[in-house]
Amino acid sequence: MVLPSEPEFEQAYTELLLTLQNSTLFEKKPHLEKALAVVSVPERVLQFRVVWQDDEGNLQVNRGFRVQFNSALGPYKGGLRFHPTVNLSILKFLGYEQTFKNALTGLAMGGGKGGCDFDPKGKSDGEIRRFCEQFMRELSRHIGSNTDVPAGDIGVGGREIGYLFGAYRRYRNAWEGVLTGKGATWGGSLIRPEATGFGLIYYVEKMIDYVKPGDSFAGKTVAISGSGNVAQFAALKAIELGGKVVSLSDSKGVFVLTSPESEGFTPEEIAEIADIKLVHGELATLESKFTSGKFKYIPGARPWVHVGSVDIALPCATQNEVSGDEAAALVAAGCKFIAEGSNMGSTMEAIDVFEAERISKPEGIWYAPGKAANCGGVAVSGLEMAQNSSRVTWTREEVDARLKDIMVACFKNCVSTAIEYSSEKTDGLPSLVKGANIAGYVKVAEAMLDQGDFW
């Protein structure tokens, strides 16, 4: 089930296990306890070599993966990640989380994840195209619109999805909705690039309103990590709703405001960052422009101990990007809400800090895990699948309204489930960690029971 060489997957498994054990779920539904051993093993793991040619004519070899984790609720659904750190442990954890995240959307999607240890940074368009052709040569045997529908993830944006989709169409001689995140003129959905970031903000909106009915993002300071699609569109939506974004980062460093009185990021500055990231550039290339008094650039750092007093923290970069010490710093800085735009953005130690604060103080910091708060991306992927199946295209307003409805329903499900199965004695806020984990687990486990995957 969990191997010693799979630390990321072990972390995800342990977090779910502890949540279920520290609730009343198995007292109220003892027949679902058996499912844990079954749901924690992928239905299928594919590993393959990808041999391609660089611009100098040299042969290159990478390792490709697809973890088809669970299909009880629908076709396997989850992104492809191209990054040198990709390994089986990371993809198993992502596929495991994706299974329960997809369940929380209410759409008919199972869970999966894939990718390759290929690094698109510094590669030419020709090299990326040739790599995608060879990657899809093998993957195309194992996916399909009713079997497994990948999407983009880190290192896989619109350009890569285009090359991958074109390769699939040529290999299989079929046009089908086998990938999501496609271009708007050839089967994609409006709002898909924005969906994870927008959905994150819609979820946090409900958190704010739950604590203080009628309250909103207006006038609140928002610390964000990352600078990819999720971070960019979360920042833009937060600004649109009246929030002040005080940080953005990448793997090399972070931009933060020089003083609390400084104006936050503007949409124009975020557009400049988007242009840099589109070609896999680094934030540091904007240092001379962005550090003219308004911002300071801190190399090798993450935002959390450098942003000062903030109301909302949104990790939107990668896994385990908030440590226990950084969590304590956010609490000390008066942060009231933290919600993950990244998958498993907080370490177990950080989650313990947030949950202890929530329990001990009725209005302490409130933490939302990624499987709930960032499910908007895969939700709109599901909406893209629906549009492809019926050969229609919905308007931007219709997709956005459906996305918001899904995020609101997800939040309400997490709250009601946390209250129903909580074993803790507290006058504080309900645990969104428990709510998300239990709600996702119950839906998947009951479908597996009905289908004979365990008995």
Give a three-class secondary structure readout of 385-429: HHHHHHCCCCCHHHHHHHHHHHHHHHHHHHHHHHHHHECCCCCCC
pLDDT tens-digit series, residues 198-242: 999 999 999 999 999 999 999 999 999 999 999 999 999 999 999
pLDDT tens-digit series, residues 122-154: 899 999 999 999 999 999 999 999 999 999 998
- Give residue 426's pLDDT: 63
Under 8 Å between Cβ of 347 and 320:
yes
The 3-state secondary structure of 193-214 reads CCHHHHHHHHHHHHHHHHHCCC
Strands 244-250 and 253-257: antiparallel
Tokens of 127: 């090299």
- Give residue 115's pLDDT: 98
pLDDT tens-digit series, residues 395-446: 999 999 999 999 999 999 999 999 999 877 666 799 999 999 999 999 999 9
**Architecture field, domain 195-368:** 3-Layer(aba) Sandwich (3.40)
Rounded CA separation 25/27 (Å): 5
**Architecture field, domain 42-176:** 3-Layer(aba) Sandwich (3.40)
Rounded CA separation 202/438 (Å): 21
113 assigned to active site: yes
- Give residue 3's pLDDT: 56
3-state SS class at 374: coil
Residues of the chain with CATH 3.40.50.10860: 42-176
For the chain, what is the mean pLDDT? 94
Alpha-carbon torsion 142, 145, 148, 151, what sign? Answer: positive
Which amino acid is residue 239, in one-letter code? Answer: I
- Give residue 1's pLDDT: 56
Phi, psi at 232, each rounded to 5°:
-60, -50
- Give residue 423's pLDDT: 78
Tokens of 318: 């990668």
Catalytic residue among 92, 113, 182, 434: 113
User: Tokens 């009880």 sit at which residue?
Assistant: 72
Strands 366-368 and 337-339: parallel
